[in-house]
Chains A and B, each alone.
Chain A
Amino acid sequence: MRKINRKLLSNIIIIIFMSLFCSVFMLPYVRMILDSFKTRVEVMKGTTMFPKKFILDNYRTVFQKTPIVNWFFNSLWTSTLVTVVTLFTSSLAGFVFAKYEFKGKQLIFWFIMATMMVPAQTTMIPSFLIIQKLGLYDNLFAIVFPSLVGGFGIFLCKQFIEDIPDSMVEAASIDGAGNMRIFFMVILPLIKPTLSALAIFTFLGKWNDYLNPLLYLSDISRMTMPLALSFFTSQRTSDLGGVMAAATLVILPVTIVFLCFQKQFVRGISITGMK
């Protein structure tokens, strides 16, 4: 009986402590959203937490004065395209590395893994020059092409495809299924959880990326959301309400998606981090 009470007490203490901490932790969000509904003067004064009167002017400004719909769709289609292609290339390459023997396999795999550890800042200058030479500067494909194949995804898929028994692949092969048919009918259905985790991280990484758009995009209408927000902020230093409204619009989509798929997020981090 005493033990149960102690457990209950420690639970209550932890819940109270974490609730207090999380309330403070969430304040930047509260601040951002509340400021986005204040008048310009009220935001600048910064004395009130809640707006005296909720106004939508800041959002109207953002939609009227900026191509935010463009920015949204730029982010959306580049991130989606990269995610779909990355899933395909990662699983296909993972399949080949896990289930086939061929000359140079170890070397090629080691080589792909080695490319993973190179920091973006080391490759960005030559990459910029290459993108320019290819005529892709200020073109959204400049942030798409370099991300279509990734060592992380290949590694992840290889690990999970290796767990699939060889006998399943062989059985399909004896039944007359070709390589691609085995890939689509046998392998892909079995690694769905891995693929959904990979999809989440690829999409999020691309959607949130700041460095690559900063390097390759300069026209305002071709920017992606994070870059556009920092650009907008530097243009409207005195319009804090507008900045907060824009920030809310940038943060909202990913946050909503996260809240809807939080179970998959948590599971995804656990399986990708632990393998």
Chain B
Amino acid sequence: MKKTIFPYVVLAPMMLLLFVFLVLPILGSFVIALFKYNPLNETGNTFIGFENFRRLAADELFNISFVNTLIYVFIMVGINLVITLLFAQLLTSLSSNKWRSLFRVLLFMPCVAPLAAVSVIWSKGIFPVKGGLLNKLLSYVGVAPINWLGNPSTLMPALLILSLWADIGYNIILFISGLQSIPLDYLDAAQIDGAGPIRRFFSITFPLLGRTFSYVTAMTLISQFQAFAQFAIVAPNGGIGRRGYVLSTYIYDMGFRNKDMGYASTVSLVLFFIILIVTLVQQRLNRVDWGY
């Protein structure tokens, strides 16, 4: 197309907004991390170099949050991918469109509800020892009541159950549309050659789902590393035994409750680099030729 200044006219105001609300904050977090920064401090904030970074290694709560985050994310993403792939496969092999869309709608419903509201319902109606729905259900299969949120060893499993409930619908839809784009000829050919359904899944479906799978994995990883609302509401201050402290809630508490914004920024950079690594790995994997 011919040369005009139109692109610059269009992009200038947008770049200004991005600069003020995104670029400046990103740069800002690197700068604030070098300060002992308290917004209420009237005498000014002192430059302390890499002192905040040194503090990380010795900070027990940071270490707990870091480990909890990894535990949460890897278990969550692992179970999520297995369940959603299984359900997507089951639903794709249904011949009835009506049933398929009914199940898909039901499984997706929690995804449109605000996570904050979901967290309130689960922490007040499902998890409580007294009158909680989960214990009631478990009592039918003979399991004694569990104090889900009041017990250090069950807090994280509870958070995982809640998060899975709230999140699986999204990946199910992505996997169904990935599975439906695989040509049926391949599967039919394999079936004629005598491959059973499990063999067909691992030898044909799964390899051909490569690109979808790598995309879904990366997106789920990135979003789960930033999971916040359920931890803030179900496990305030880290919950019992701090077993529910994750990086996102630790950063929030450090910055906005303790007003230790310099240190909170330092912790937030750890999260930044984790997500940077996940993104770079996904980019690298995407260069592989998955086509068929």
| Contact surface of A with B, Cβ cutoff 8 Å | 7, 10-11, 14-15, 17-18, 22, 24-29, 31-32, 35, 43-47, 89, 92-93, 96, 99-102, 105, 108, 112, 115, 117-130, 132, 145-146, 148-149, 166, 169-170, 173, 179, 204, 207-208, 210-211, 214-215, 225-227, 229-230, 233, 240, 243-244, 247, 250-251, 254-255, 257-259, 262, 265-266, 269-270, 273-274
Residues in A neighbouring B24, C-beta threshold 8 A: 126, 130
What residues of A have a CB within 8 angstroms of the CB of B130 in the complex?
44, 46
Kindly list 4 other residue pairs between chains A and B, CB separation below 8 angstroms, not including A121-B226, A125-B268: A170-B1, A255-B109, A266-B173, A270-B173
- Contacts A102-B7, A179-B4; is A125 near B112 (CB within 8 Å)? no
Q: Is B20 a contact partner of A117 (Cβ separation < 8 A)?
A: no
Whether a CB of chain A sits under 8 angstroms from the CB of B79 is no
Residues B26 and A124 in contact, CB atoms below 8 Å apart: no
Q: Which chain B positions have C-beta within 8 A of A43?
A: 131
Tell me whether B121 and A125 are in contact (CB under 8 A).
no
Name the B residues within 8 Å of A250 (CB-CB). 114, 117
Q: Of all chain B residues, which has the CB nearest A263?
A: B101
Asked if residues A255 and B112 are in contact (CB atoms below 8 Å), the reply is yes
Q: Is B264 an interface residue (CB 8 A)?
A: yes
How distant is the Cα of A52 from the Cα of B276 in the complex, in angstroms?
54
The answer to whether A149 and B113 touch (CB under 8 A), given A26-B106, A270-B173, is no
Instruction: List CB contacts (< 8 Å) of B102-137 with chain A.
Output: 103-110, 112-122, 124-126, 128, 130-133, 136-137
A115-B109 contact in complex given A10-B93, A130-B24, A270-B173, C-beta closer than 8 Å: no
CB neighbours (8 Å) of B23 from chain A are 115
Q: Which of B150-158, B198-206, B245-253 contacts A (4 or more CB under 8 A)?
A: B245-253
Per DSSP, chain A at the interface is helix
Known: A32-B121, A93-B14, A225-B114. A100 touches B4 (CB 8 A): yes
- Does B50 sit within 8 A of A, measured CB to CB? no
Contact check, A125 vs B271: say whether CB atoms are below 8 A apart: no
Contact B21 A127 (CB under 8 A): yes
Contact in complex: B132, A46 (CB < 8 Å): yes
Give B96's nearest chain A residue, CB to CB: A11
Instruction: Give the 10 A-B CB pairs with smallest separation, nearest first.
Output: A46-B131, A126-B28, A123-B25, A146-B21, A226-B116, A126-B25, A270-B177, A226-B114, A208-B114, A210-B229
What residues of B have a CB within 8 angstroms of the CB of A119 in the complex?
A: 225-226, 248, 268, 271-272, 275
Taking CB atoms, residues of chain B closer than 8 Å to A44 are 130-131
Contacting residues, chain A, for B222 (C-beta < 8 A): 117
> Among residues 1 to 26 in chain B, which have CB atoms less than 8 Å away from a CB atom of chain A?
1-4, 6-8, 10-11, 14-15, 17-18, 20-26
B24: shortest Cβ distance to chain A, in Å? 6
A230-B120, A244-B121 are contacts. A14–B93 as well, Cβ < 8 Å? Answer: yes
**Contact at A124–B255, with CB atoms within 8 Å?**
yes
CB within 8 Å of A: which of B78-102? Answer: 87, 90-91, 93-96, 99, 101
* A–B complex contacts, Cβ < 8 Å, 11 sampled: A15-B96, A44-B131, A102-B3, A108-B15, A115-B18, A130-B24, A230-B120, A244-B124, A247-B121, A251-B113, A270-B177
Give the nearest-CB partner of B119 in chain A. Answer: A230
Interface size class of B (residues with CB under 8 A): 35 or more
**A269 touching B95, Cβ below 8 Å:** no
Task: Out of A17, A96, A117, A130, name the residue touching B21 (CB < 8 Å).
Answer: A130
Closest partner residue, chain A, to B216 (CB atom): A273
Given contacts A22-B107, A47-B131, A243-B124, contact A121 B271 (CB under 8 A): yes
Most chain B CB neighbours (cut-off 10 Å) among A89, A122, A204, A250:
A122
Closest to B236 in A: A234
Q: How far is the CB of A181 from chain B (nearest CB, A)?
A: 12
The CB with the most chain B CB atoms within 10 A, among A123, A128, A169, is that of A123
Contacts A28-B165, A120-B226 given: A274-B177 contact, CB under 8 Å? yes
CA distance A59 to B226 in the complex (A): 34
Verify if B62 is at the interface (C-beta below 8 Å from A): no
- B39 touching A129, Cβ below 8 Å: yes
Given known contacts A28-B165, A170-B1, A226-B116, is B228 in contact with A121 (CB within 8 Å)?
yes
The verdict on B261 contacting chain A, using a C-beta distance below 8 Å, is: yes
Whether B269 is near chain A, meaning CB under 8 Å from some CB there, is yes
Contact A121 B133 (CB under 8 A): no
Beyond A229-B117, A243-B124, whether A14 also contacts B90 by CB under 8 A is: yes
- Residue in contact with A121 in the complex, picked from B8, B105, B109, B251, CB distance below 8 Å: B251
Task: Select from chain B the residue with minimum beta-carbon distance to A145.
Answer: B21
Which of A7, A17, A32 meets B90, CB within 8 Å? A17
Please report the C-alpha to C-alpha distance between residue A145 and residue B232 in the assembled complex, in whole angstroms: 25
